[in-house]
Amino acid sequence: MLILGIETSCDDTGISVIRVSEKKRPVFEILSNVVSSQIKTHAPFGGVVPNLAAREHLKNIEPCLKTALKEANVKMHETRLPARQVDLVAVTYGPGLIPSLLIGVNFAKALAYKYKKPIIGINHIEAHIVAAFSGENSKFEIRNSKFPIIALVVSGGHTQLVLVKKIGNYKIIGETRDDAAGECFDKVAKLLNLGYPGGPAISREAEKWKSQFSISNFQLPRPMISHKNYDFSFSGLKTAVLYLVEKLAVRSSRKNKPRISNLEPNIVSELCHEAQQAIIDVLILKTINAAKEYQAKTIILAGGVAANSELRKQFELKMKNEKLKTDFLVPPMSLCTDNGAMIAIAAYFNRKKIKSSNWKTIKADANLRLS
Ligand code: KG4
Ligand code: ZN
């Protein structure tokens, strides 16, 4: 079965072709996974501008499709080799930015209609979760996973703790009340003039500081860490960094106007280290508490922020220290941030939902919830 996965929920245009061979256990092969990034477009604004994102998706989606099909050596329409034809079109229909989602959904519907292919709508959060079942290589069997699972999905738009009883059965047990963890990385990076996206920039700075020093002089809050629930809040952390930066900038500017550019590079790295650590502390503690309460057999860490190597490392360390006998699954780096392959993988697990009427009924839904 050849599945075309289309992802346009935020600022990455992702198109992928995967092959699933149904043997005793399904074998997945990622034949292509093209991602056109819009970093340059959004960088001057320090965050994603929805209408600009939609404009870029519109420009990039067709070239991405052509490249993804070519790399996979696959066609949309009939060829003499049926094994080389796309069998199913899968598209993210939510949650996400509505102008961005609309481009992907309408493009996918037009493809499905034109080439008479079945189509299926995929929940973006579910796709992030199932990406964690992938192997490191492009050809893999789904990793053995024991249920129930506690999945932490941390991205630019979402921070959710999800109880997964089985694939397709989800319960959100906690989520952010304001900014997502990735958004916090992006906003802190913006106020420190580190560019967009903030996550990788903050992580690089934090690493620099950690390689030279050990104990930070700064103490930022760990929001909601001792609340007896699984919700998060990251907007106060960003504000705490802002106040600290203003104080430090005044101190270092003496007679000049206080400016962030007056801050010494070591101070900026230290701030990044402390902000990153504050986010990591909250994410890990809440996830491990949830895993204990729900007697999870597996913890999944997924979404763009899962690409943070310090977060991955500290998760494993904490689980070891707590003697948790829980498996830990993280997607390979290439499947952490938004991409079409995770949409195609999720489509395989949802294949029973394929209906001939799908292309008429699928609608972009910015606030789509897992259930
Ligand atoms: O999943 P994703 O690609 O898009 C959404 O669904 O939102 O996540 C993007 C987010 C951005 O906020 C970005 O700063 C963050 O993931 N991110 C990271 C890292 N790489 C990407 N955050 C922390 N450390 C990283 N290495
Ligand atoms: Zn995402």
Model confidence pLDDT, tens digit, residues 327-368: 999 999 999 999 999 999 999 999 999 988 888 899 999 999
> In a mutational test of the pocket of ligand 1, which residue from 45, 188, 282, 305 has the highest number of ligand atoms less than 8 Å from its CB?
305
**Protein residue whose Cα sits closest to atom 1 of ligand 1:** 304
Q: Give the number of the atom of ligand 1 that is nearest the alpha carbon of residue 338.
A: 3
Q: Residue 87 and residue 81: Cα distance in Å, rounded?
A: 12
In the predicted structure, residue 250 carries a pLDDT above the cut 80: no
- Ligand closest to 37 (CA) is 1
pTM: 0.95
In the predicted structure, residue 255 carries a pLDDT above the cut 60: no
Q: Residue 80 and residue 67: Cα distance in Å, rounded?
A: 21
Domain 2-134+335-361 architecture: 2-Layer Sandwich (3.30)
d(CA 251, ligand 1 centre) in Å: 32
C-beta of 331 in contact with ligand 1 (< 6 A): no
In the predicted structure, residue 83 carries a pLDDT above the cut 80: no
Are 41 and 100 a contacting pair, CB within 8 Å?
A: no
Buried b (16+ CB within 10 A) or exposed e, 252-279: beeeeebebebbeeebbbbbbbbbbbbb
**Protein residue whose Cα sits closest to atom 19 of ligand 1:** 199
d(CA 354, ligand 1 centre) in Å: 30
- 2-134+335-361 and 149-330 share one fold: yes
**Protein residue whose Cα sits closest to atom 22 of ligand 1:** 199
Cis peptide before 197 (omega within 30 of 0): yes
d(CA 88, ligand 2 centre) in Å: 22
Residue 246 confidence (pLDDT): 87
CATH code given to domain 149-330: 3.30.420.40
- Ligand closest to 155 (CA) is 1
Cis peptide before 221 (omega within 30 of 0): no
Q: Report domain extents, the chain.
A: 2-134+335-361, 149-330
d(CA 319, ligand 1 centre) in Å: 23
C-beta of 241 in contact with ligand 1 (< 6 A): no
Model confidence pLDDT, tens digit, residues 5-64: 999 999 999 999 999 998 889 999 999 999 999 999 999 998 899 999 999 999 999 999
